[in-house]
Amino acid sequence: MKKAIYPGSFDPVTFGHQDMIIRSSAIVDELVVGVLNNRAKNSLFSVEERVSMLKEMTASLPNVTVDSFDGLLVDYMKEHGVTLIVRGLRAVTDFEYELQIAQTNHVENPDVETIFLTTNLQYSYLSSSIVREFAAYGGDISKFVPAQFIDRIYEKYNIKK
Ligand code: ADP
């Protein structure tokens, strides 16, 4: 039984994340999408809002659940019997940071392994920060995020469409 976690900020969730969730849930038995409740980081959406959007998005995927965590990912994993981390690699710029985090997590807990999926070419440019930047200026974000989240994102910037 392979139980994996796909951790991230998902602020907001994008088509790139959706693609990762669909692809990784097809190769493990159970996938937890773990929303990081990072208090130091000023997020656009509260952790509850991010969890709720991810739940809507993954409702049709039977082996996917959504949860939030504070603190160390390895601690959450130990508590919940998860040993596999899934992360996405978009460009070489992701690599250095991801390698360091993966190796640190493995040192912290040798049972923990990280697997990387290369980004879908269609979404390799896409990040939550790009979505936030475009939305803040009323840009078209329909190619970046699922349609049901567009109004919620604009609302955060007091933009009426
Ligand atoms: P973090 O705050 O951990 O960077 P993100 O929400 O930005 O969280 O990303 C979570 C994970 O999703 C990371 O592994 C990231 O590389 C991956 N990811 C983000 N955008 C994409 C994308 N467009 N295609 C594939 N993977 C992505």
Q: Strands, DSSP E only, in the chain? A: 3-8, 30-36, 64-69, 84-89, 113-118
Show me where the domains of the chain are located: 3-122
Q: Does the CB atom of residue 127 touch ligand 1 within 6 A? A: yes
State how far Cα 43 lies from the chain centre: 14
Output the pLDDT for position 80. 97
Please state, for a pLDDT cut of 70, what percent of the chain lies above it: 100
pLDDT at residue 55 is higher than 80: yes
In this prediction, residue 54 carries a pLDDT of 98
The span from the CA of 125 to the CA of 48, in Å, is 27
- Confidence (pLDDT) at 23: 98
Question: Which of 25, 51, 90 has the most ligand 1 atoms within 8 A of CB, as the residue to mutate?
Answer: 90
Decide: 132 in ligand 1 pocket, CB within 6 A.
no
pLDDT at 91: 85
CB 24 less than 6 A from any atom of ligand 1: no
17 given a catalytic annotation? yes
- pLDDT above 90: residue 161: no
Domain 3-122: assigned CATH number: 3.40.50.620
* Average pLDDT value over all residues in the chain: 96
The active-site residue, picked from 23, 78, 90, 156, is 90
Answer whether 23 contacts ligand 1 (Cβ < 6 A). Answer: no
Give pLDDT tens digits for 60-117.
Answer: 999 999 999 999 999 999 999 999 999 999 988 889 999 999 999 999 999 999 999 9
